[in-house]
Structure 1
Amino acid sequence: LAGGLTFFGFGIEAGALLAGISLAGSGFQREIEQKIRPLRDFFLIIFFIVLGTQLTVELIEQYWLPALALSVFVLIGNPLIIILVLRLFGYHPRTGFLVGTSLAQISEFSFILLGGGIAAGLADPDSLPITTMVAIITIAISAYFLKYNEKMYEKLEFLFKWLESVPDMQDNKNDDDEVPRVMLFGYHELGASILPAIKKLKEDYLIVDFDPAAIDRLEIKQEPHIYGDVGNREFLDFIKAYRAKLIICTIPDVNITRDIIEYLKIKGSRTVIVVTAKTARGAKKMYDMGATFVIVPSMLGGELFSELLTKRKYKKTAWYPLIRKQKKLLAANAKIF
């Protein structure tokens, strides 16, 4: 395939890419990956060695300024572009920021394109050392982006407020009598498994999510729903979350949980708040914040929680015996309580 494309004037790299795409659709994809992994790793090392030989001290001194400028553009421009594109598709700015910061670097494919351009006489050979420096800078810094992107978003969230979608208070009136007694934050596997139990309560309920795909599914099923970010206090005010009797948050994010609980405390709400944690340590943090009950999926699935929900409903005191049992179980597993 690669040789055939070369015959027709295409680069051998394009042929190799198409060959890989055709193999990806075969039933032997995993086996092929395992067999070529040592070869792939070997040539990857050679690839970076060759790049290193193209970068001398003299070239660094000569091209450090354009390399730095391009690095700043990639580190800032890539996330901004991705945020805007994902926002057009209906995704929340936080999702776009986390995705964008994970892609804030140039990849090996950039060198393949550049190499083809240099070979065809369409690019200046001097652009290779600049691209190499940009790759080193962006790959190194984006590694820290990946580690601290959630904390970064917390600090920079105010810059993206204008991209957040909060329903118009004038167009969507929400009187006190219309406030649902039960609110489910997050409709995915866990949320979907809990929903039947919420229906058995025979109370008005509302499902909140900011995943456009989840909203589409809820629209098809004609479930009461609204698109929004539960980490946004203006949005929580709009849906009057503080007036709900029961809030179940299936989003296993400590920061979102903290925002919801702090909001309810500020409002003086006595709402029963059930949240979700990934680990026992995360569950302890959420109990310390003031959560009524914490779901740990690895220890308590959605189906079992659904059975408990129909028995305890809105009274906080009804949850206390279960909380004591859960804390003992978590302590036995993690030794943190």
Structure 2
Amino acid sequence: LGLRMQISHLQEVLIPAIVLSGIALIFKPFALMILGRWFKYTKRTNFLVGFTLAQISEFSLIIAALGLSIGQISAMAFNTIVLALIITIFLSSYSITYSSEVYNRFSNFLSVFESKKIKKENKIKKEYDTILFGYNRIGFSILKVLKELKKKYVVVDFNPDIINNLRRFGVPALYGDVYDMDFLEDLKLEGANLVISTVPDLETNQLLINTVRTVNRKAVVVLRAHAIEDALKLYENGANYVLTPHFLGGEYVAKMIRHTKIGDKDYKEEREKHMKMLKQILSKGINHPEVEKN
């Protein structure tokens, strides 16, 4: 469809295309961040959604081509839309790549896009010395152990549905984002004995371990990684232990095969135990997470 653009008219549509691109790159993210604030997402979530969706949609090209074919828009208008699409795609690719750096620089000015109600609801009266970041994956099993050990804990997640679900079951939970430095300061990391992150993102975990170690050198920090290289980097950053689910899962099965005979009743016991755990997880409103890229 873009091949219908007439290169000879490029100079005539350049200024209108730049103006249209500016409108898309400024007002579209602005509108999305306002909408995200209404849905009570954090300012970082709102920023990333708006920033990564700033480009003009490819569907606009289909509509424009249809309008051109039936004579509803002129060739110049079509050329303007195509050029604006190219400009926004080019610029948005860079904005996505450097979105974290841009957010860190302007985060203080983005508080207007975060609902004040979030901070009012984000108060835990009980004391805690254990913080669990991320619940909707392996966090369920970790939380179960924390309860059994009668730890004073709090769960942190940036999914409002998960937080509401946890609170419904009486679990101390806070809605927050690791990239929000104000939120991390309110967590009182200096008083934590154990910090656990089930979040698989390397950059997020590096920020967390660096923040914790700045205010608390004694806390035990357990993080998560998919790749071996990421795990080694986190160890270098000061993590006490790094979870690698893919390798731990294989190691567990290997041990089970080693210590269990074929046809042995232990397999049946293991099966029943696993089914019970899966049903418990499902009863908490947690389904299988989306497949994560390594």
**TM-score, normalised to structure 1's length?**
0.65
**Aligned-partner Cα distance in 2 for 1:163–1:275:** 30
Contact in 1 for aligned 2:196/2:223 (Cα 8 Å) = yes
Contact in 1 for aligned 2:46/2:113 (Cα 8 Å) = no
For residues 70-121 of structure 1, the C-alpha deviation after alignment (integer angstroms, 9 at most, x for no partner) is 1122123322322221222122222233333332222332133334545666
SS at match of 1:203: coil
Q: Identify which of 55, 60, 74 aligns with 2:6.
A: 55
Distance of aligned partners of 1:237 and 1:108 in 2 relative to their CA distance in 1, 3 Å threshold = closer
**Aligned-partner Cα distance in 2 for 1:144–1:207:** 34
Q: Larger deviation: 214-223 or 150-159?
A: 150-159
CA-CA distance at 1:248 after TM superposition = 0.6
Instruction: In structure 2, give the amino acid aligned to 1:55.
Output: Q
Counterpart position of 1:137: 87
Distance of aligned partners of 1:155 and 1:191 in 2 relative to their CA distance in 1, 3 Å threshold = same
Instruction: In structure 2, give the amino acid aligned to 1:248.
Output: I
**Aligned-partner Cα distance in 2 for 1:208–1:289:** 22
1:29-40 matches, within 5 Å, as none
Q: Identify which of 162, 165, 171 aligns with 1:217.
A: 165
Contact in 2 for aligned 1:179/1:243 (Cα 8 Å) = no
Instruction: In structure 2, give the amino acid aligned to 1:185.
Output: F
CA-CA distance at 1:250 after TM superposition = 1.2
**Aligned-partner Cα distance in 1 for 2:138–2:6:** 51
Distance of aligned partners of 1:119 and 1:109 in 2 relative to their CA distance in 1, 3 Å threshold = same
Counterpart position of 1:260: 208
Counterpart position of 2:259: none
SS at match of 2:98: helix
1:153-172 matches, within 5 Å, as 153-164=103-114, 167=119, 172=123
Counterpart position of 1:32: none
Number of residue equivalences? 249
Q: Identify which of 45, 59, 81 aligns with 2:31.
A: 81
Counterpart position of 1:110: 60
**Aligned-partner Cα distance in 1 for 2:105–2:83:** 29
CA-CA distance at 1:131 after TM superposition = 0.5
**Aligned-partner Cα distance in 2 for 1:246–1:97:** 30
- Structure 2 portions without partners, runs of 5+: 253-294
Distance of aligned partners of 1:230 and 1:179 in 2 relative to their CA distance in 1, 3 Å threshold = farther
Contact in 2 for aligned 1:179/1:239 (Cα 8 Å) = no
CA-CA distance at 1:272 after TM superposition = 0.9
RMSD value over aligned CA atoms?
A: 2.8
Q: Larger deviation: 193-202 or 126-135?
A: 193-202
Counterpart position of 1:279: 227
**TM-score, normalised to structure 2's length?**
0.74
**Aligned-partner Cα distance in 2 for 1:163–1:273:** 31
Instruction: In structure 2, give the amino acid aligned to 1:112.
Output: I
Contact in 2 for aligned 1:181/1:204 (Cα 8 Å) = yes
Contact in 2 for aligned 1:278/1:297 (Cα 8 Å) = yes
Distance of aligned partners of 1:149 and 1:173 in 2 relative to their CA distance in 1, 3 Å threshold = closer
Contact in 2 for aligned 1:55/1:132 (Cα 8 Å) = no
Structure possessing the higher radius of gyration over alpha carbons:
1
Instruction: In structure 1, give the amino acid aligned to 2:61.
Output: F
2:200 matched to 1:249?
no
Contact in 2 for aligned 1:167/1:238 (Cα 8 Å) = no
Contact in 1 for aligned 2:24/2:54 (Cα 8 Å) = yes
Identity within the alignment, %: 33
SS at match of 2:128: coil
2:42 matched to 1:92?
yes
Distance of aligned partners of 1:152 and 1:281 in 2 relative to their CA distance in 1, 3 Å threshold = farther
CA-CA distance at 1:295 after TM superposition = 1.1
Q: Identify which of 148, 165, 190 aligns with 1:200.
A: 148
**Aligned-partner Cα distance in 2 for 1:277–1:216:** 27
Distance of aligned partners of 1:265 and 1:108 in 2 relative to their CA distance in 1, 3 Å threshold = closer
CA-CA distance at 1:291 after TM superposition = 1.2
**Aligned-partner Cα distance in 2 for 1:264–1:93:** 22
Counterpart position of 2:266: none
Higher relative contact order (CA 8 A, sep 6+): 2
Counterpart position of 2:260: none
